[in-house]
Each structure stands twice: as structure tokens, then as C-alpha cells.
């Protein structure tokens, strides 16, 4: 286990393997454990760094207002702390949002982006959107983390053969700090950098599960607004694609990373 300090917070990260750096950023209410099925495969080819975002996992959970810009600044601080060259950043859900924020704020830090079941904004644009956001905000405060965990387990992993994945969610989710979890949720709601996507020019792979919370069409729309992006749809998958389809996700990610590495200019 490794730690570093930034902006009054002690942040935990894992660092394994050798080669070009691949930085993994987890989703809301999760931790480096989001990537348990990816790290071994990636570390066979790359240096893999997985961060526990402020308020999550083994990182500190300061009693303060969180923001997506603050999360992205923590990621940039880790890159500086480890003196990394440009990184391949892989982010799922909230981690993908952090990737977009970093891409807008510090595009020079990125060699590539992989955005998994995420988007560049969480803004209500219709009465239904307002209702869904208000529902999530309210239920997150009213329900216990144990209750949320059981509901998430059923939603993300509904198949009988996915019992082990449901068990992991039910065990891990209640370990969150409720205040930090809600502060992170508040950082997401209303956030957006879609109007600044032109700042992101690195190769970008957008991965969407066919049964994600948001439709594939929404991802296809913003992919067109990125300078160098493509969309990959993974079938028979829900929001936790790296967990429910690890083999296909890993092979697709490795193929993308290999392509970017092969096309990168060779240093003199």
C-alpha cells in the first residue's frame, strides 16, 4: 500500500507492473477493488496505478465539500508525485467524469482516455431527468448503505450465476463513509464539461454496456464531439462492465492501449 498527501488529504494508491503508465479511476462508492479483474492483465504489459479517490476506500475522508475539479486535481497530483510521463487514464462512471475533467483541465497529462459507462455531464434537461436526479438524491439520504448495497447488487448483477458479484457489492458498499459518499454524489449532480470537449485531443475509447443506466445513443452523441474518439458497445453487460464482462473488456482495452502505444512518436 502506498500513500501521498495532497490538499490536506492522505490518498491511497496501488502501483504494480512496469512500462507505460495506466491510471485507473473507480466509480462512486467504490475503490481500487473496482479493478480487481483488470490489474493482473494490465500489469503484465504496463505500469498500473489505481487510486482511491478522496472520500473513498483507504484514502482520507475529509469533512468538506467535494468537487469534480478537486478530484481531478488529486489525480494530477498523483501523476506529479510519481513523476509520470503522459498516462493512459481509464475511468468508470464517476471515474470517467474525473477523466473528462482532467482532460479539460490538464490535457497535456493524458496519452489516452478510456471512458467506461460515463459521460461529460450530469445535468437535467427534461422533467424526467429532474425527477430521476431528485429520486436518487433523496433515496441516497433516506436509505442505509446496506439497503443501497442490496438494491445495487440486484440491479447490477441480476443473473443467478452472478451471486458472487452481488455478494461483493453487498459486503463492500456498506464500508463507505455515508457523509463522504453523499458529498461525492453532490459533486456529480449538476456537473459538466461537455462544452469544453474540444480541449481533449488524445485518443479516446468510450465503452458502453448495452444495458447501462444511460442509453448507448447518449454516448454516441458525445463521441462525435471529441476529436479522436470511438465507441465500443459491450453486449450482455450493465453498469459494472469491468466486473461482469472482464475478459472482453480487458482484451478490448489492451488492444486500444497497444494501438496508441504503437502510434505514439518515438523519443529521439
Closest CA to 180 of 62, 67, 94, 58: 62
CB 53 within 8 A of CB 78: no
- Written as one string, the DSSP assignment of 69-138 is HHHHHHHHHHHHHTT--SEEEEEETHHHHHHHHHHHH-GGGEEEEEEES--SB----SHHHHHHHHHHHH
Whether 213 maps to a domain, the answer reads yes
- 50 in any annotated domain: yes
Q: What is the pLDDT along the chain (268 residues), one digit of tens a residue?
A: 799 999 999 999 999 999 999 999 999 999 999 899 999 999 999 999 999 999 999 999 999 999 999 999 999 999 999 999 999 999 999 999 999 999 999 999 999 999 999 999 999 888 888 888 888 889 899 999 999 999 999 999 999 999 999 999 999 999 999 999 999 999 999 999 999 999 999 999 999 999 999 999 999 999 999 999 999 999 999 999 999 999 999 999 999 999 999 998 754 4
Output the domain CATH number for residue 210. 3.40.50.1820
Query: Does residue 169 lie in a domain region?
Result: no
Confirm whether 32 is domain-assigned.
yes
Helix intervals (H) in the chain: 39-43, 68-81, 94-105, 127-142, 145-156, 163-172, 178-188, 216-223, 241-244, 246-263
Give the range of the structural domain holding residue 220, as residue numbers without chain letter: 2-122+195-263
DSSP character for 265? Answer: P
Residue 111 inside a domain? The answer is yes
Q: Which three cell numbers stand for residue 233?
A: 458497445
Residue 128 lies in a domain: no
Whether residue 23 is contained in a domain is answered as yes
Indicate whether 176 belongs to any domain.
no
Q: What whole-number distance in Å separates Cα of residue 36 and Cα of residue 246?
A: 10
Considering its fold, how many domains does the chain have in total? Answer: 1
Residues 6+ apart with CB under 8 A from 112: 88, 89, 202, 203, 204, 205, 256, 257, 260
pTM here is 0.96
Amino acid at each position: 500500500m502506498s500513500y501521498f498527501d495532497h490538499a490536506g488529504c492522505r490518498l491511497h494508491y496501488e502501483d504494480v507492473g512496469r512500462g507505460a503508465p495506466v491510471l485507473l479511476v473507480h466509480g462512486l462508492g467504490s475503490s481500487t477493488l473496482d479493478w480487481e479483474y483488470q490489474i493482473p492483465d494490465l500489469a503484465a504489459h504496463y505500469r498500473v496505478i489505481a487510486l482511491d479517490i478522496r472520500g473513498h476506500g483507504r484514502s482520507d475522508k475529509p469533512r468538506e465539500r467535494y468537487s469534480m475539479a478537486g478530484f481531478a486535481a488529486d489525480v494530477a497530483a498523483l501523476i506529479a508525485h510519481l513523476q509520470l510521463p503522459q498516462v493512459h487514464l481509464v475511468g468508470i462512471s464517476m471515474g470517467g467524469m474525473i477523466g473528462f475533467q482532467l482532460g479539460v483541465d490538464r490535457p497535456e497529462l493524458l496519452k489516452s482516455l478510456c471512458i467506461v459507462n460515463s459521460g461529460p455531464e450530469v445535468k437535467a434537461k427534461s422533467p424526467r431527468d429532474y425527477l430521476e436526479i431528485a429520486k436518487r438524491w433523496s433515496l441516497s439520504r433516506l436509505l442505509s448503505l446496506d439497503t443501497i448495497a442490496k438494491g445495487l447488487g440486484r440491479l447490477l448483477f441480476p443473473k443467478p450465476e452472478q451471486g458472487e458479484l452481488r455478494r461483493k457489492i453487498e459486503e463492500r458498499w456498506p464500508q463507505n463513509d455515508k457523509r463522504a459518499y453523499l458529498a461525492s454524489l453532490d459533486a456529480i449532480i449538476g456537473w459538466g464539461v461537455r462544452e469544453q470537449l474540444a480541449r481533449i485531443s488524445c485518443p479516446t475509447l468510450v465503452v458502453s454496456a448495452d444495458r447501462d443506466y444511460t442509453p448507448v445513443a447518449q454516448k454516441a452523441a458525445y463521441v462525435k464531439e471529441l476529436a479522436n474518439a470511438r465507441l465500443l458497445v459491450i453486449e450482455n453487460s450493465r453498469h459494472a462492465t469491468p466486473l461482469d464482462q472482464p475478459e472482453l473488456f480487458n482484451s478490448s482495452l489492451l488492444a486500444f492501449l497497444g494501438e496508441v502505444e504503437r502510434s505514439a512518436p518515438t523519443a529521439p
